Amino acid sequence: MELPRSVAKDRWRIILPRRKGSELLVLPEGPRECLPNLEIPSNTRLAEQLNETIKRTWGLETISLFAPNVSFLPAPIPDIRYHVVELTRPNDPLPPGLQWVPFSSLSGTSFEDSRDFLVAQRVLQEFQQTTHGAQDQPFARPGWFRDLLLWTVDAITPWNLQVTGRFQQFNATPTFSLIRFETNGPAVWFKAVGPPNEREFLVTTTLAEIVPCRIPQLIARRPEWNGWLSLEAAGTPLGDVDEFGPWKRATLALAALQIESVDHIPRLLRAGSRDARSATLMGALDAFIDRMTEMMRLQTKSSPAPLTGPELLQLKRDMNIALVRFQELGLPDTLGHFDFNPTNVIVSKDDCVFLDWAEAYVGCPFFTFEYLSQFLRNASPKVTDEDRELVRAYGLAWQSLLSPSVVHEALLLSPLLAVFAYAVCSDTWTDAQRIQDPQVQAYLRTLTRRMNIEAKKAVPRCLPC
């Protein structure tokens, strides 16, 4: 009999104010107070887990707001975590042991751990600021969920829908929000985005106008929050299906979406899609290889071996050959998706829609297909008949615009150039702060080594005999 594996958990101290921050929920421990605390599994959706655990443990329905920055503490400890939540029904009775205390009656000496007071004090000060008009962090403001709920009720009424009161919150930061509301019909999703993904709002609302059948139906917008409300797409995430048929439907739907987008490239760029056009990629090549040369020198591990200077120079030559040849193919620029994974594809018997357009780009359509097919290849170390069938289906769809030889060569070069486009257009390699992170450096080295492997396979095949 196999014993169940232990699940890693994190303990969170809960800051739960009421009445515009004038009261705080505490757990008395002898003569002093503690913040209520609980454990949730690590590496899960924090807001969803916190809300569910609070409801299960204390019988309180909450909306998560944010995890405060505690770097100001005189002695911060890494394993102490705080999160701010708010009751959706402030007058619900409390379970035994918990109580509301006027915050004005508390001080550092009131708490078993004085850091609890310092963090709560900072949070309530921020509450006062957001209450008086701060708009750059809409989901740190007390009462925002009630505003959202009333707006949602108004927005879905013309659709003959009514909320049931049940909801799930998946994201909780001052600028991001993702909530699913159950209704008497299909569920509706509210999503709002902040830095660095503000572009997703304009990209999504633009797609709702130019290719409405390719994304979940958008029914309302909240521009001041960079937010929108959509009907839940009917179907199943592609990653949850075992049959091959849905993968082929998704492939054909992707090609159709990209072909439909050809006439809308300027508009998609204005909306904030990343620029992955051939000229842009070519213009970044020298600087990218120079930066990767620096990253390889910083590698401290012996394995996998860093690429040498001569290897990187050869990679640059190979990349230049591939990019020039790609330009010569004359492929149209289309809408693409740098995060095109099976969880972002919803398939049904007759339809397929695509989600989460924060990583939208304009450039070669074949890159997006490469990202999708890579997930299928990862499931098997060998090329299968299913792999070949997907390639054939996608290639045939593009033969309505391109010759078979052009499609064939574009598919040969895509595994190399898709990796390069993904690396270059992420902007991580040009971010002076993020590039200092050893994990970011390691990831960029991994992508560059992958490019080197793909270049050795692809470039000889595109050279003239």
Last residue of a domain, one of 231, 265, 298: 231
Residues 6 or more apart whose Cβ sits within 8 Å of residue 207: 214, 215, 335, 357
Q: What is the CATH number of the domain that holds 305?
A: 3.90.1200
Give dist(CA 285, CA 217) in Å, integer.
Answer: 39
Q: In this model, does residue 133 exceed pLDDT 80?
A: no
Are both 22 and 133 inside the same structural domain?
A: yes
**Domain-located, residue 313:** yes
Are both 70 and 171 inside the same structural domain?
A: no
Are both 202 and 77 inside the same structural domain?
A: no
**Which of 20-34, 144-158, 389-403 comes out lowest in average pLDDT?**
20-34
Residue 2: what pLDDT?
A: 44
Mean pLDDT along residues 211-221: 96
Identify the residue with better confidence: 132 or 302. Answer: 302
**Domain-located, residue 3:** no
Q: In this model, does residue 455 exceed pLDDT 70?
A: yes
Residue 462: what pLDDT?
A: 64
Last residue of a domain, one of 231, 258, 284: 231
**Domain-located, residue 168:** yes
Cα–Cα distances (Å) from 416 to 387, 410, 451, 455, 459, in that order, read: 18, 10, 6, 6, 9
**Residue 165 backbone zone (phi > 0: left; psi -120 to 50: alpha; other: beta):** left
Mean pLDDT of the chain: 91
CB of 217 within 8 A of CB of 323?
Answer: no
pTM above 0.85, yes or no: yes
Residue 218: what pLDDT?
A: 97
Query: What confidence tier does 127 reach under pLDDT thresholds 50, 70, 90?
Result: confident
Are both 97 and 49 inside the same structural domain?
A: yes
Are both 332 and 425 inside the same structural domain?
A: yes
Are both 61 and 119 inside the same structural domain?
A: yes
Are both 297 and 221 inside the same structural domain?
A: no
Q: What is the CATH number of the domain that holds 63?
A: 3.90.79.10
Are both 244 and 381 inside the same structural domain?
A: yes
pLDDT digits (tens, 9 = 90+) for 184-205: 999 999 999 998 899 999 999 9
**Domain-located, residue 412:** yes
Query: What confidence tier does 463 reach under pLDDT thresholds 50, 70, 90?
Result: low
Residue 448: what pLDDT?
A: 97
Are both 362 and 307 inside the same structural domain?
A: yes
Query: What confidence tier does 465 reach under pLDDT thresholds 50, 70, 90?
Result: very low
Are both 338 and 274 inside the same structural domain?
A: yes
Q: Can you give the residue range of the structural domain that contains 223?
A: 144-231
Are both 227 and 266 inside the same structural domain?
A: no
